[in-house]
Chain A
């Protein structure tokens, strides 16, 4: 009813004018940067939503469990009592090397062609390969993010970086990898160097493209007008959008590094046999593949390797989907 509304409105405006008697309707608040940062928080937590979406993906959760079990076991294995040394050569009672012994109770996965225990070599090799892979993933993300941010955010260098990228992107990564490992003497650190030199470029490009897309969105423009320093804009406004890309790149970098290590070992540029890695275990297994009875020397390391790469790939992809804020629905 219009009359009732009118009465109510008059009552309210009466009360308001009494309360504001003599004062201006708005007061100028003192400028305080802290108050500007205080946004009204909803009941939304980024990481909780990420977790919830990730847990919905049953395959990924299963592979996460496998991955965690493998990782824990790989690093706990040397501490278990009764494990053999991966580099010790075992002799039988006559002093002859126990060569190519099939899997038995003594040697769980058999021995290789010079009498070393395959079971402990596989886990030592997994440790080496994972160490290489994690190091590469960390260097790759750190370098890729830093360069990508500079490339994408600072307009002065953008043209130059793009030209440089167009030149270096044309060199196939595999060739670069071969060359670097050909020139350097094989060791864990040179393999890490060779693998990370070739891979960070792609990460930097990914990051740069994402930054160019969101750099000039209105909310960033607003931040810039309000005088936020660039580093703060990058860290608070842009990085949350990039987390999904970064997670995915890091998760893919690990299986990539492992398979590159296998390839480099195969063409004879890998680690020396004294340092077991999945790459040189598989390469020495290849020599045995023509004899079905010795094929276990190839199959066991390959199986462990596949488990690791598949689980990283699947978990990485699921995590990337889950950590993308666009997939978060409240």
Chain B
């Protein structure tokens, strides 16, 4: 409960900060054809948006509207179009891509981590898998996301084109076009999960109970799956919120690269068009999503591991 209140407080603080920052913007961002307007028209327009009211009153009315579920209207991207329906159109597709990317990251990252850990503790000549995996992680972690996504888009498309026809941009109906965006969105999380999985597995391998199991004559495969893996996967749940945020932020880039009609692409577009109200609304939505992600992650951690009690989250993680 206390945790919930903190999340709400955070959201309000963020909205206040964002709202204040965006008021520093030039006012062109609120009008469609600023250059041709007379000073009177501009004043009337500002009044309609409530922009010449003092900061606190404007903030309060924005928060009030937000509670009613109204995010305002777009000014430049699509003039006068309610932002709610824009987001309602675009949210499902972003969600499905994000969730698919998270599933891919877990489905490939965890086995990679297990493989690396098993190879790291094995005899010297089997260490190749660990080395290759570490190189993969180093590459994904150090090369900017924006750059490797781009190269996946260019060369991935060309590679797949040799076998089946594939357009470079996304289309909802063509399943083949889902593959590359989801894959590139999942890479960062995949590397993260593989890295931590490897580390926790190796930690668990050096525990007493593993040695006991080995001494009892339990097979290596059974030790890995029944003992080590189960214990190692628990602390991994603490990275769930991080990976949610990573996916959300990655979607900004991926969606605009593949012109996926989702929210991330919309935010990039609204920034390029300087549509202030739309930027504000989207930033609020994104912050709310990532706060919700962290919140759910904390709860998931408490559910998965009974040793963690939520009161501990009063400390900084």
A182-B9 in contact (CB<8A) = no
Q: Which residue of B lies closest to A179 (CB)?
A: B21
Report chain B residues within 8 Å CB of A290. 168
Q: Which of chain A's residues 166-205 have a Cβ closer than 8 Å to chain B?
A: 166-172, 174-175, 178-180, 182-183, 205
Report chain B residues within 8 Å CB of A306. 143, 147
Docked pose: A262 CA to B253 CA in angstroms: 11
Bits for B224-265, please: 1 = Cβ < 8 Å to A, else 0.
Answer: 000000000000000000000100110011001000000000
B268-A179 in contact (CB<8A) = no
Q: Which residue of A lies closest to B141 (CB)?
A: A313
Contacts A167-B13, A314-B138 known; A182 to B25 CB distance under 8 Å? yes
Q: A309 an interface residue at 8 Å Cβ cutoff? A: yes
Partner of B252, one of A162, A267, A309: A267
Q: A65 an interface residue at 8 Å Cβ cutoff? A: no
Q: B146 an interface residue at 8 Å Cβ cutoff? A: yes
Q: A123 an interface residue at 8 Å Cβ cutoff? A: no
Q: A300 an interface residue at 8 Å Cβ cutoff? A: no
Partner of A167, one of B6, B146, B290: B6
Contacts A170-B287, A172-B290, A267-B272 known; A183 to B21 CB distance under 8 Å? yes
Q: Which of chain B's residues 51-93 have a Cβ closer than 8 Å to chain A?
A: none
The winner among B9, B147, B314 for most chain A CB atoms within 10 A is: B147
Report chain A residues within 8 Å CB of B142. 255, 309-310, 312-314
Report chain B residues within 8 Å CB of A205. 316
- Smallest beta-carbon distance A256→chain B, Å: 9
Report chain A residues within 8 Å CB of B267. 178
B146-A259 in contact (CB<8A) = yes
Q: Which of chain B's residues 134-167 have a Cβ closer than 8 Å to chain A?
A: 138-139, 141-147, 150-151, 154
Q: How many residues on chain A are close to B (CB under 8 Å)? A: 43
Q: A248 an interface residue at 8 Å Cβ cutoff? A: no
Q: B14 an interface residue at 8 Å Cβ cutoff? A: yes
Q: B46 an interface residue at 8 Å Cβ cutoff? A: no
Q: Which residue of B lies closest to A309 (CB)?
A: B142
The winner among A168, A175, A290 for most chain B CB atoms within 10 A is: A175
Q: Which residue of B lies closest to A303 (CB)?
A: B147
A166-B146 in contact (CB<8A) = no
Q: Which residue of A lies closest to B151 (CB)?
A: A302
Q: A266 an interface residue at 8 Å Cβ cutoff? A: yes
Q: B24 an interface residue at 8 Å Cβ cutoff? A: yes
Partner of A166, one of B6, B138, B253, B268: B6
Docked pose: A168 CA to B18 CA in angstroms: 12
Report chain A residues within 8 Å CB of B291. 170
Report chain B residues within 8 Å CB of A167. 6, 9-10, 13
- Smallest beta-carbon distance A122→chain B, Å: 14
Q: B197 an interface residue at 8 Å Cβ cutoff? A: no
Report chain B residues within 8 Å CB of A289. 150, 154
B314-A162 in contact (CB<8A) = yes
Q: A121 an interface residue at 8 Å Cβ cutoff? A: no
A313-B154 in contact (CB<8A) = no
Q: B283 an interface residue at 8 Å Cβ cutoff? A: yes
In the complex, given contacts A289-B154, A302-B150, what are 16 additional A-B residue pairs having Cβ atoms less than 8 angstroms apart?
Answer: A162-B314, A166-B10, A167-B9, A167-B10, A167-B13, A171-B17, A172-B287, A180-B21, A263-B144, A263-B146, A266-B146, A268-B268, A286-B150, A295-B154, A309-B144, A317-B138
Give me the interface of B with A, judged by CB distance under 8 Å: 6-7, 9-10, 13-14, 17-18, 21-22, 24-25, 138-139, 141-147, 150-151, 154, 168, 245, 248-249, 252-253, 256, 267-268, 271-272, 279, 283, 286-287, 290-291, 294, 314-316
Interface pairs (26), CB distance under 8 Å: A162-B314, A162-B315, A166-B6, A170-B287, A170-B290, A170-B291, A170-B294, A171-B10, A171-B14, A171-B287, A172-B249, A172-B290, A174-B249, A174-B252, A182-B25, A255-B144, A262-B147, A263-B144, A267-B252, A267-B272, A268-B272, A282-B147, A295-B154, A310-B142, A310-B143, A313-B142
For the complex of A and B, the 4 pairs showing the least CB-CB separation, nearest first, are A259-B144, A313-B142, A174-B249, A167-B10
